[in-house]
Amino acid sequence: MRASARAHAKVRRTLVSAGASAATAALLLTGCSSDPAETSKQGGQSGGKDQTTLTVGVFGAFGLQEAGLYDEYMAQNPGIRIEQTSIERNENYYPQLLTHLGTGSGLADIQAVEVNNIAEITATQADKLVDLAKAPGVDKAAYLPWKWAQGTAPAAKGGATVGLGTDIGPQGICYRKDLFEAAGLPTDRAAVGALWAGDWNKYLETGKAYKAKAGEGKAFVDSASGVMAAVTGSSAQRFYDEQGKVVYKTNPAVRGAFDLAASFATEGLSAKHQQFTPAWDQGFSNGTFATVSCPAWMLGYIQDKAGPAGKDKWDVAQAPKPSNWGGSFLVVPKAGKHAEEAAKLAAWLTAPAQQARLFEKRGSFPSASAAYRLPAVSGAKHDYFGGAPIGEIFARAAEGVPVAVVGPKDLVIAQNLADIGMLQVDQKGRSPQEGWEAAVKAIDNALDQ
């Protein structure tokens, strides 16, 4: 959920309105007739040479185009032209992708898929997608094993690797040095990381120590649901078991994460925010909370919201346990006209060198572990966060993330746990038990077909 939240946090603008659907309808009507004309027109532009146009469909500000990767590929391959279409929010993008896969039309040659949707894609759509493990230039060993596993269909569905990982979201804990100092806690990032190393409970204990000294109106964490996302992200089994059965209700890891996060609320350590809302943004600029679990992609967001006044106040330390939050994949639909060329492009876009570029330019952390040895990553420091060696911190987190079992409805379960269950505890002061029951009820309703 949170990477989609990231997508709409970046540009939270319009919904797909009536106007947009009317436009889509018009496109559908004219689609069949205009295609050949368009191809010939492009042929004309390139002086009669055979030029292939590859389309890439993404959600939000995905970064591939912004980092200049398309331009570079087109320069290297004069026969290829790349066009990107983007839909702002994944919650609008993903249903449309499913409909298009269902009808086999309206698809881009390459489509992006958010990590919370990838299990559903590999489980239900693998037969409609190209097996990218066999694409030229793809090296399985270059990827993090857990990321590779997420993009691979279950053996029962053919076991094809239909999704190539782009970025991931290894987590650290971002904290305010000035607030830590005022509360008598260490401010050096190694010492801060040591406060809670290895155990999320120590993070809670640190929070209690912080609260004892910090005084009224200063919270330790931004939100209880942020903590919950981080804690669940660090366990191998979450909402589904290996057989694909929904087990979140009985899995002690999930309930444990819920209860731990809830105690941040009941202990009065939370600023009671809902993440990616305007109030949360204002919390950053007003310094109302001292820490936030931050995946690599969130650093830019914090810098944005906390503004120049927050420079040298924020720093980032290692999280208690390695954990992942967010990330995306590229898939190539078989129905595309240029599936072979598209697979080649997808492989190139997700190769370690390009992922390192994406990190350098956009801060999206590479899922190809081979990229961590490249200087663009290994030597990366973040000026805003006191020159923190973010390449090193997040690479260590990324390599420690367990191979998690992902299920088709992870998104729905995570979303209801956070936005129903945890929010009721955090913002409405309900008991953790009440919050849990409300979330379970909503999830049962959502999973029931």
Partner 1 sequence: MTDETALLSPSPARPVREGEGGGRGQVWRSRRYRWDLRFSPYAFVAPFFLFFAAFGLFPLLYTGWAALHQVELTDPDSMTWVGLKNFTRLWDDEFFWNALRNTVTIGLLSTVPQLLIALGLAHLLNYRLRGSAFFRVAVLTPYATSVAAATLVFVLLFGRDYGMVNWALSGLGFGPVDWQNGPLASQVAVSTIVVWRWTGYNALIYLAAMQAVPGELYESAELDGASRWRQFVHVTVPSLRPTIFFTCVVSTIGATQLFGEPLLFNGGAGATGGSDHQFQTLGLYLYEQGWVNLHLGRASAIAWAMFLILLLIAGAARLLRGRGEAR
d(CA 74, CA 341): 12
Residue 425 CB, shortest distance to partner 1, in Å, is 9
Angstrom CA distances, 84 to 3, 184, 359, 408, 417, stand at: 20, 51, 20, 27, 34
SS3 content of the chain, % helix, strand, coil (to 5): 55, 15, 30
Count of Cβ atoms closer than 10 Å to residue 402 Cβ: 16
* DSSP track, 4-17: HHHHHHHS------
Should residue 33 be labelled a site residue for partner 1 when binding is judged by CB under 8 A? no
Binding-site string for partner 1 from residue 100 to residue 119, where x marks contact by CB under 8 A and - marks none: --xx----------------
Residue 444 CB, shortest distance to partner 1, in Å, is 11
Burial class (CB in 10 A: 0-12, 13-18, 19+), 372: buried
Binding-site string for partner 1 from residue 122 to residue 151, where x marks contact by CB under 8 A and - marks none: --xx--------------------------
Give me the residues paired with residue 133 across strands. Answer: none
| Cβ distance to partner 1 smaller for residue 275 or 303 | 275
Site for partner 1 in 367-426 (CB under 8 A): 408, 412, 415-416, 419-420, 423-424
Should residue 433 be labelled a site residue for partner 1 when binding is judged by CB under 8 A? no
275 close to 226: Cβ distance less than 8 angstroms: yes
**Binding test (CB under 8 A) with partner 1, winner from 34, 46, 85, 99:** 99
Query: In this structure, what DSSP letter does residue 385 have?
Result: T
# residues contacting partner 1 (CB under 8 A): 44
Should residue 334 be labelled a site residue for partner 1 when binding is judged by CB under 8 A? no
d(CA 303, CA 312): 11
Q: Quick one: which of 410, 330, 401 has its CA closest to 161?
A: 330
Should residue 309 be labelled a site residue for partner 1 when binding is judged by CB under 8 A? no
**Between helices 69-76 and 352-362, what is the axis angle to 10°?**
140
Site for partner 1 in 62-91 (CB under 8 A): 91
**Binding test (CB under 8 A) with partner 1, winner from 283, 295, 326, 363:** 283
Residue 80 CB, shortest distance to partner 1, in Å, is 31
Residue 5 CB, shortest distance to partner 1, in Å, is 5
Should residue 9 be labelled a site residue for partner 1 when binding is judged by CB under 8 A? yes
Residue 303 CB, shortest distance to partner 1, in Å, is 19
| Binding-site ranges for partner 1 (CB under 8 A) | 5, 8-9, 12-15, 25, 91-92, 95, 98-99, 102-103, 120, 124-125, 274-279, 282-283, 286, 288, 408, 412, 415-416, 419-420, 423-424, 427-428, 438, 442, 445-447, 449
